[in-house]
A and B are shown apart, each in its own frame.
Chain A
């Protein structure tokens, strides 16, 4: 296969030992920063930022909802991207990364769905509406669950890993649908107010705490992902050693 001969600079980091060394160097910083910035962001978002003229204090759930929703999509891109690398170049590390990221993404998606539901009750008068944004995020949640279930469905772990990678790639079509659902359809969910061509439609006093919370969520995701990858690699090493012992 010609594809397998294409070398990318990332291949240097596919060496598990080198990856582990770099990850071990990064992890304390991301974890500490996440821990230190989380209270700052939370107080800023919940107490310091001004109340919304329309939604008063109820809008503050946005500071959890929006970062979680962003991370739910970003994590799926991590799963899908790692799956592509795993399928094309057969890097075991990419498989591990995809599998390690999936439950994190499922949790972010669940948080986005639950907080959105709590926010929807006072604002829309209902816990749930079947509009395009909510439905596509629910599909995203099912995709995460399907990925995890398929990964573990085979006796032969590598078969499950690669079947799940194919599913993750198929599921990537859902990501643009989630992102643009509010533009393509007339949804009850409000359109994007941060990433717009004409600049954010939100005043800076509300935008900054949101961006800080998004940063905290990202740092948290990176920390947990690195911990999970480390655990999974240790687990594989243990089972390999066990296998060598019994053989």
Chain B
């Protein structure tokens, strides 16, 4: 079973790396999106410093959600999802592996680039560590929840806007504690509690979301 999981991970990773442009889209989205804010609200350093961490978090949330939207569509259309269901790997593990690889390809770059964005948004030095740390814990949660929405809607006609309606409310807790962690760290009161809750959200979503995703996928395969 481990071998099958690794093979699936290798396949997904290879598919993503063959089209590196696609994997970089969320990063570009986050970069351009962040660049709009100094133009929109004015480049004053104080304004940007105050709203910066929240802006980067919200845009990262959008980037992840838009990125997960078609997580299952291609596999359903060409029939490989059916093959995966027939294989020895339970669909729950397929979902987990797929989400982790997807995070590795689209989520991790967001984490890596976030210190640069923090600089652009005039964040205090503490945020250069706090923001990537919070995103490291938070973006996998966003991927897991986004994957539930994508699996529920795979094969339906109206997709993207409805996925956002389903997924965004469930992602709000991650956003709240993600921004809370950054602001507590930069405010000097220490964000331990927020980081711990983020970690709890991560573990909870890793444990529970695969079951919801697999149930939704079985439905799509009927």
Chain A residues close to B by CB (< 8 Å): 87, 135, 139, 142-143, 145-146, 149-150, 153-155, 159, 162-163, 166-167, 169-171, 174, 177
CB neighbors of A among B183-222 (8 A): 212, 215-216, 219-220, 222
B153: chain A residues at CB < 8 Å are: 150, 153, 163
Q: Are A135 and B156 closer than 8 Å at their CB atoms?
A: no
Q: Are B166 and A150 closer than 8 Å at their CB atoms?
A: yes
B212: chain A residues at CB < 8 Å are: 166, 169-170
Tell me the nearest residue of chain A to B159, going by C-beta. A153
How distant is A200 from chain B, measured CB to nearest CB, in Å?
A: 30
| Cross-interface CB contact of B166 among A146, A155, A162, cutoff 8 Å | A146
CA distance A149 to B152 in the complex (A): 12
**A-B contacts besides A135-B176, A166-B152, A174-B170, 5 pairs, CB < 8 Å:** A149-B166, A150-B162, A166-B148, A166-B219, A177-B173
CA distance A235 to B4 in the complex (A): 47
Q: Given A150-B162, A159-B219, A166-B219, verify A171-B152 contact (CB < 8 Å).
A: no
Q: Is B158 an interface residue (CB 8 A)?
A: yes
Q: Is B21 an interface residue (CB 8 A)?
A: no
Q: Given A154-B156, A166-B212, A167-B152, verify A145-B162 contact (CB < 8 Å).
A: no
Count contacts on B: residues with CB < 8 A to the other chain.
22
A150: chain B residues at CB < 8 Å are: 152-153, 162, 166
Q: Are A162 and B162 closer than 8 Å at their CB atoms?
A: no
A155: chain B residues at CB < 8 Å are: 157
A169: chain B residues at CB < 8 Å are: 212
Which secondary structure characterizes the binding site on chain A?
A: helix
Q: Given A87-B215, A163-B152, verify A170-B170 contact (CB < 8 Å).
A: yes
A162: chain B residues at CB < 8 Å are: 219
Q: Is B172 an interface residue (CB 8 A)?
A: yes
How distant is B53 from chain A, measured CB to nearest CB, in Å?
A: 16
Q: Are A153 and B216 closer than 8 Å at their CB atoms?
A: no
Q: Is B165 an interface residue (CB 8 A)?
A: yes
Q: Are B158 and A153 closer than 8 Å at their CB atoms?
A: yes
Tell me the nearest residue of chain A to B213, going by C-beta. A166
Q: Given A153-B156, A163-B152, verify A142-B162 contact (CB < 8 Å).
A: no
Q: Are A170 and B162 closer than 8 Å at their CB atoms?
A: no
- Sample of 8 A–B contacts (CB below 8 Å): A139-B170, A149-B165, A153-B156, A153-B162, A154-B155, A155-B157, A166-B148, A167-B166
CA distance A229 to B166 in the complex (A): 25
B216: chain A residues at CB < 8 Å are: 163, 166
CA distance A177 to B200 in the complex (A): 14
Q: Is B44 an interface residue (CB 8 A)?
A: no
Q: Are B169 and A139 closer than 8 Å at their CB atoms?
A: yes
Tell me the nearest residue of chain B to A154, going by C-beta. B156
CA distance A167 to B219 in the complex (A): 13
A87: chain B residues at CB < 8 Å are: 215
B166: chain A residues at CB < 8 Å are: 146, 149-150, 167
CA distance A229 to B168 in the complex (A): 30
CA distance A210 to B169 in the complex (A): 31
Q: Given A153-B156, A170-B148, verify A163-B219 contact (CB < 8 Å).
A: yes
CA distance A153 to B164 in the complex (A): 14
Q: Given A149-B165, A150-B152, A166-B215, verify A135-B158 contact (CB < 8 Å).
A: no
Of all A-B residue pairs in the complex, the 10 with the closest CB atoms, nearest first, are A142-B169, A146-B166, A139-B169, A163-B152, A153-B156, A146-B165, A154-B156, A170-B212, A162-B219, A166-B215
Q: Are B170 and A171 closer than 8 Å at their CB atoms?
A: yes
CA distance A139 to B215 in the complex (A): 23
How distant is B208 from chain A, measured CB to nearest CB, in Å?
A: 8
How distant is B124 from chain A, measured CB to nearest CB, in Å?
A: 23
